[in-house]
Structure 1
Amino acid sequence: MSNKIGNTEMTGFREPTLSPTSGYVKFRNLPIGHSRWTKGFWADKFQKATDTMVPYMGELLCGDVGHALNNFKIAAGEKTGEHQGMYWHDGDFYKYMEAKCYVYAIRQSPQLLEELDEYIRIIGKAQEEDGYLQTQIQLREELGRYQNRKYHEMYNTGHLLISACIHYRITGQRNFLDIALRQADLLYSLFMPENDHLARFGFNQTQIMGLVDLYRVTSESKYLQLAEKFINNRGKYKVEHNATTEGYPIGDMVQERLPLRESEEAVGHAVLALYYYAGAADVYAETGEKALIEALDKLWKNVTEQKMYLTGAVGQAHYGASSNRDMIEEGFIDGYMMPNLTAYNETCANLCNAMFSYRMLGIHGESKYADIIELVMFNSGMVGISDSGKEYFYSNPLRMVNDTRDYHSHENVTETPNREPYLACFCCPPNLVRTIANFSNWAYSLSEKGLAVNLYGSNRLDSQLQDGTEIHLVQETNYPWEGLINISLEKCKEAAFEIAFRIPDWAKGASLRINGELWEESCKAGTYCKILRKWKAGDHIGLDLPMEICQMEGHPRIEEVRNHIALKRGPIVYCVESPDLPKSTSILDVYISADTQWTPVFQPDFLGGLCTLEGSLLVRNNKQSTLYGSISKPSFTPIKTKMVPYFSWSNRGQAEMSVFLPVVWNIN
Structure 2
Amino acid sequence: MQTVATNHLKTSQTPDQGRFLRWKNIPLGHSRWTDGFWSDQFEKACQVMVPYMGEVLCGEIGHALNNFKIAAGEKAGDHQGMYWHDGDFYKFMEAICHVYAVTQDPQLLEELDEYIRIIGKAQEPDGYIQTQIQLRPEVDRYENRKYHEMYNTGHLLISACVHYRVTGKRNFLELAIKQAELLCVLFLPESKHFGRFGFNQTQIMGLVELYRVTLEKKYLKLAEKFINNRGKYAVVHHSTTEGYPIGDMVQERVPLRESTEAVGHAVLALYYYAGAADVFAETGEKALLDALDRLWDNITQQKMYVTGAVGQAHYGASTNRDMIEEGFIDAYMLPNLTAYNETCANLCNAMFSYRMMGIHGKSKYADIIELVMFNSGLSGIGHSGKDYFYSNPLRMVNHTRDYHSHENATETPHREPYLSCFCCPPNLVRMISNLSNWAYSLTENGLAVNLYGGSRLESTLTDGSVIILEQETQYPWEGAVQVTLEKCREEVFDIHFRIPDWAEEATLTINGEPWHESPLPGNYLVINRRWKPGDRVFLNFPMEVSLVEGHPRVEEVRNHLALKRGPIVYCVESPDLPEGTSILDVYLDGNSPWRAEFEPGLLGGIGTLKGTLLLRKNNQTKLYGKVSRPEFESIESRLVPYYAWSNRGQAEMSVFLPVVWSNR
Alpha-carbon distance in structure 1 between the residues aligned to 2:648 and 2:416: 13
The answer to whether residue 306 in structure 2 is matched with residue 274 in structure 1 is no
1:173 counterpart residue number:
169
Alpha-carbon distance in structure 1 between the residues aligned to 2:240 and 2:327: 16
- Structure 1 pair 436–473 and aligned structure 2 pair: CA distance change class (3 A): same
The one of 262, 284, 290 equivalent to 2:286 is 290
* Counterparts of residues 20-169 of structure 1 (less than 5 Å): 20=17, 22-169=18-165
Alpha-carbon distance in structure 2 between the residues aligned to 1:271 and 1:199: 20
Alpha-carbon distance in structure 1 between the residues aligned to 2:239 and 2:310: 24
2:501 counterpart residue number:
505
1:419 counterpart residue number:
415
Alpha-carbon distance in structure 1 between the residues aligned to 2:311 and 2:519: 34
1:13 counterpart residue number:
13
How big is each residue's C-alpha offset from its partner over 1:478-510, in whole Å with a ceiling of 9 and x where there is no partner? 000000000111111111000010000000101
Alpha-carbon distance in structure 2 between the residues aligned to 1:367 and 1:54: 31
The answer to whether residue 393 in structure 2 is matched with residue 397 in structure 1 is yes
Shift of 1:520: 2.1
The one of 215, 223, 240 equivalent to 2:236 is 240
How big is each residue's C-alpha offset from its partner over 1:84-108, in whole Å with a ceiling of 9 and x where there is no partner? 0000000000000000011111111
Alpha-carbon distance in structure 1 between the residues aligned to 2:406 and 2:230: 31
How big is each residue's C-alpha offset from its partner over 1:272-321, in whole Å with a ceiling of 9 and x where there is no partner? 00000000000000000000000000000000000000000000000000
Q: How many residues are matched? A: 655
The one of 183, 189, 193 equivalent to 2:185 is 189
The one of 346, 365, 375 equivalent to 1:379 is 375
2:535 counterpart residue number:
539
Alpha-carbon distance in structure 2 between the residues aligned to 1:14 and 1:590: 53
* Counterparts of residues 491-640 of structure 1 (less than 5 Å): 491-640=487-636
- The answer (yes or no) to whether the contact 1:14–1:216 under 8 Å persists in 2 is no
Structure 2 residue matching 1:402: 3-state secondary structure: coil
| RMSD across aligned positions (CA) | 0.9
How big is each residue's C-alpha offset from its partner over 1:400-438, in whole Å with a ceiling of 9 and x where there is no partner? 011134222234110000100000000000000000000
- The answer (yes or no) to whether the contact 2:146–2:243 under 8 Å persists in 1 is no
Which letter does structure 2 place at the counterpart of 1:462? E
Alpha-carbon distance in structure 2 between the residues aligned to 1:667 and 1:448: 55
The answer to whether residue 222 in structure 2 is matched with residue 226 in structure 1 is yes
Shift of 1:11: 7.3
1:4 counterpart residue number:
none
Structure 1 residue matching 2:375: 3-state secondary structure: helix
* Counterparts of residues 482-497 of structure 1 (less than 5 Å): 482-497=478-493
- The answer (yes or no) to whether the contact 2:617–2:630 under 8 Å persists in 1 is yes
Alpha-carbon distance in structure 2 between the residues aligned to 1:241 and 1:608: 52
1:213 counterpart residue number:
209
Alpha-carbon distance in structure 2 between the residues aligned to 1:239 and 1:664: 51
Structure 1 residue matching 2:607: 3-state secondary structure: strand
Shift of 1:109: 1.1
Shift of 1:667: 4.7
The one of 623, 644, 664 equivalent to 2:660 is 664
1:255 counterpart residue number:
251
1:323 counterpart residue number:
319
Alpha-carbon distance in structure 2 between the residues aligned to 1:202 and 1:586: 46
Which letter does structure 2 place at the counterpart of 1:120? I
- The percent identity for this pair of structures is 73
Alpha-carbon distance in structure 1 between the residues aligned to 2:181 and 2:103: 33
- The answer (yes or no) to whether the contact 1:313–1:349 under 8 Å persists in 2 is yes
2:443 counterpart residue number:
447
Alpha-carbon distance in structure 2 between the residues aligned to 1:282 and 1:666: 52
How big is each residue's C-alpha offset from its partner over 1:25-78, in whole Å with a ceiling of 9 and x where there is no partner? 111010001111001000000000000000000000000000000000000000
Alpha-carbon distance in structure 2 between the residues aligned to 1:495 and 1:11: 22
Which letter does structure 2 place at the counterpart of 1:182? K
Structure 1 residue matching 2:627: 3-state secondary structure: coil
Alpha-carbon distance in structure 1 between the residues aligned to 2:11 and 2:553: 54
How big is each residue's C-alpha offset from its partner over 1:544-581, in whole Å with a ceiling of 9 and x where there is no partner? 11111100000000000000000000000000000000
Which letter does structure 2 place at the counterpart of 1:14? T
The answer to whether residue 300 in structure 2 is matched with residue 304 in structure 1 is yes
Alpha-carbon distance in structure 1 between the residues aligned to 2:548 and 2:235: 41
Which letter does structure 1 place at the counterpart of 2:84? W
Structure 2 residue matching 1:43: 3-state secondary structure: helix
- Structure 1 pair 463–11 and aligned structure 2 pair: CA distance change class (3 A): closer
Alpha-carbon distance in structure 2 between the residues aligned to 1:78 and 1:318: 39
The answer to whether residue 456 in structure 2 is matched with residue 465 in structure 1 is no
- The answer (yes or no) to whether the contact 1:405–1:416 under 8 Å persists in 2 is no
- The answer (yes or no) to whether the contact 1:25–1:364 under 8 Å persists in 2 is yes
- The answer (yes or no) to whether the contact 1:398–1:657 under 8 Å persists in 2 is yes
Shift of 1:449: 1.4
1:477 counterpart residue number:
473
Structure 1 residue matching 2:601: 3-state secondary structure: coil
Structure 1 residue matching 2:48: 3-state secondary structure: helix
How big is each residue's C-alpha offset from its partner over 1:93-129, in whole Å with a ceiling of 9 and x where there is no partner? 0000000011111111111111100000000000011
> Which consecutive residues of structure 2, in runs of 5 or more, have no partner in the other structure?
1-9
Alpha-carbon distance in structure 2 between the residues aligned to 1:240 and 1:598: 55
1:3 counterpart residue number:
none
Moved over 6 A (4+): none
Alpha-carbon distance in structure 2 between the residues aligned to 1:410 and 1:545: 43
Alpha-carbon distance in structure 1 between the residues aligned to 2:486 and 2:179: 45
- Structure 1-normalised TM-score? 0.97
- The answer (yes or no) to whether the contact 2:72–2:122 under 8 Å persists in 1 is yes
Alpha-carbon distance in structure 1 between the residues aligned to 2:413 and 2:261: 31
